[in-house]
Amino acid sequence: MPISYISTRGRAPRLSFEEVLLAGLASDGGLYVPDNLPHFERDQIKAMRGLPYNELAFVILKPFVEGSIPEDDLKVLIDDTYAVFRHEAVAPLVQLGHNQWVLELFHGPTLAFKDFALQLLGRLLDYVLQKRDQKVVIMGATSGDTGSAAIEGCRRCSNIDIYILHPHERVSEVQRRQMTTVVGGNIHNLAIKGNFDDCQSMVKASFVAEPFLPENRSLVAVNSINWARIMAQIVYYFYAALALGGPDRAVNFSVPTGNFGDIFAGYLARGMGLPIDRLVIATNKNDVLHRLLTTGKYSRLQLEQSLSPSMDITVSSNFERLMFDLYDRSGDAVFDLMQQFQSGEIELSASAMSEARALFASQCVSDDETCAEIARVWRDNEYLLDPHSAIGTRAAWDCRVDASSPMVTLATAHPAKFPDAIANSGVSEKAKLPAHLVDLFERPERFCVLDNDLAKVQQHMAATVSV
Ligand SMILES: *Cc1c(COP(=O)(O)O)cnc(C)c1O
């Protein structure tokens, strides 16, 4: 039986992989998860040792797409996806200290880990849309990295128009230019006079609103509520663990966390049979998850700007996917909790909390600590960390319980993306942009500035859809 996908709130239709790829949010407001997780025996995992990244990805992802994409086609899509990464190893491991490692996930075209999922998502969408002879509109909000990765992943898809909303003058210049300098009639950058939450709300509202697009153009989501993104991220947990002695030896991961998509993929890797000891949730001062693990309460606070903008969130959307498991996959329980959460705060049951604490550790790292960590690692290793990754290595250090087992921090962005944070840390070394981006600051930009007004944004979209 191929895997099918069910909603965390239990009231939406069960979907195939192909359908879930195009779905985004479930019709009951929930998120899609596999009805059951593929499981690999220890011997099967051992047999994966030494596989190059693309071949490993094929083995891990095959069961998730069965019934929707023939194996030979999947293989081609995966090979194409990871061939554009600039490092031969795709996701190289770098050692920072005794049993302390960094998994560099920033060798994709836009220099952040989001390329791992969005390069694949773009190709999967293109494949499925061509087969169905269907055209769609992608709408997404970004605080920086998602937008450029999504644009890069979909720029060559002739059946897709892509609209990315970013908060006007609130993303870094490198991040903005990575979006606005990409040429293509199907690429639309909208700078909204508001903050990231405003952009996000407009996207959410557009998914539930009356249709505002020309006929036959449905909306597709590219943020991490899209299941295919989570799925693609499972692979590098296997890749790193296998390189460090897995499955005979368990490893730990520290993950710079915002929406809980990346670390949720690590949780799934463990569920699929990969021995993982600890998963450390590393957050900046927007620490909704760290507060949850310490107090048992999941509560929304005001958004705070930090030096790690890609982790500036008030709630972590993908946490709902974990909640579904913590409540024994009861859609009713999650439905009720999410209803209650409209008030801004819920308290999780004692059994859910004890399970969550057995699975995850957490640490909140301030801006000052982030800068100190960038400076420390530069001093000790002459290695430049971006501020997101520095939060990861700092939390890895604080949460380590067993120095004899490897701790891998996911380095989620290239340091050249965040030169200001590095300068703030007192490190005079400058990270160089890779060769394909050296002229980024000379390229012409294209974007529209729009008011923080949903009707205007939707009118603009309806009037400019090109495909
Ligand atoms: C998106 C992002 C994160 C957060 O990942 P989530 O899946 O939202 O938890 C961390 N670091 C960087 C650089 C990012 O772009």
Residue among 46, 62, 114, 131 flagged as catalytic: 114
The CA distance from 356 to 372, in Å, is 30
| Domain assignment of residue 307, given as a range | 90-110+228-424
Ligand 1 atom nearest 388 alpha carbon: 11
Separation in Å, CA 436 to CA 85, 141, 146, 412, 440: 11, 25, 19, 19, 8
Ranking 64-68, 262-266, 278-282, 302-306 by mean pLDDT, the lowest is: 302-306
* pTM score of the predicted model: 0.96
Q: Is residue 123 part of a domain?
A: no
In a domain, 372, yes or no: yes
What is the tens place of the pLDDT at every residue in 180-217? Answer: 999 889 999 999 999 888 998 899 889 877 788 888 78
Q: Which two tokens stand for residue 423?
A: 């300068």
The per-residue pLDDT for range 355-395, each reduced to its tens digit, is 999 999 999 999 999 999 999 999 999 999 999 999 999 99
365 CA → ligand 1 middle, Å: 15
pLDDT band at 1 (very low <50, low <70, confident <90, very high): confident
Q: Kindly state the average pLDDT of the residues 66-71.
A: 96
pLDDT at 145 over 90: no
Average of pLDDT values for 51-80?
98
Whether 260 lines ligand 1, by a CB cut-off of 6 Å, is: yes
3 state DSSP class of 428: coil
Q: Tell me, using a 6 A CB cutoff, whether residue 312 lines ligand 1.
A: no
Contact predicate 116/234, CB 8 Å? no
Which pLDDT value is given to residue 163?
A: 97
Q: Is the pLDDT of residue 64 over 80?
A: yes
410 lines ligand 1 (CB under 6 A): no
Q: Does any domain span residue 151?
A: no
Return the structure tokens found at 78: 């995966």
Cis peptide before 247 (omega within 30 of 0): yes
3-state secondary structure of 253: strand
Q: Which residue minimizes the CA distance to atom 14 of ligand 1?
A: 310
Q: Is residue 297 annotated as a catalytic residue, yes or no?
A: no
Of 104, 224, 388, 410, the one to substitute when testing ligand 1's pocket (max ligand atoms within 8 A of C-beta) is 388
* Assigned domain for 324 exists: yes
Q: What proportion of the chain, given as a percentage, has pLDDT over 90?
A: 86
Residue 411 sits in a domain whose CATH number is 3.40.50.1100
Of all atoms in ligand 1, which is nearest to the CA of residue 233?
A: 7
Side-chain-side CA neighbours of residue 27 (13 Å): 6
HSE toward the beta carbon, residue 342, CA cutoff 13 A: 5
CA-to-CA distance for 15 and 10, rounded, in angstroms?
12
The tally of domains found in the chain comes to: 1
Which pLDDT score is estimated for 303? Answer: 87
| 289-319 CB burial, b ≥16 within 10 A, e <16 | bbbbbeebebbeeeeeebbbbbbbbbbbbbb
Q: What confidence tens digit (pLDDT) does each residue in 424-454 have?
A: 999 999 999 999 999 999 999 999 999 999 9
**171, 310, 320, 374: residue to mutate for ligand 1 pocket, most atoms within 8 A of CB:** 310
Mutation to probe ligand 1, out of 31, 103, 105, 145 (largest number of atoms < 8 A from CB):
145
Determine the Cα–Cα distance for residues 409 and 406; give it in Å rounded to an integer.
Answer: 10
The verdict on residue 253 lying in a domain is: yes
Three-state secondary structure of 327-356: CCCCHHHHHHHHHHHHHCEEECCHHHHHHH
pLDDT at residue number 230: 97
Q: Computed from CA positions of residues 194, 200, 201, 207, in that sequence, does the dihedral angle turn out positive or negative? A: positive
For 95-128, the pLDDT digits (tens) are 999 999 999 999 999 999 999 999 999 999 999 9
Q: Is residue 403 part of a domain?
A: yes
pLDDT tier, 24 (very low <50, low <70, confident <90, very high otherwise): confident
Q: Please tell me the distance from the alpha carbon of residue 273 to that of residue 214, in angstroms, as a whole number.
A: 46
Going by pLDDT thresholds of 50, 70 and 90, the confidence category of residue 467 is low
Those residues with Cβ within 8 angstroms of residue 391's Cβ, 6 or more apart along the chain or in another chain: 256, 282, 283, 284, 308, 311, 365, 370, 373
Does the C-beta of 114 come closer than 6 Å to ligand 1? yes
- Residue 275 domain flag: yes
pLDDT exceeds cutoff 70 at 169: yes
With a 6 A CB cut-off, is 112 part of the ligand 1 pocket? yes
Q: Is residue 434 part of a domain?
A: no
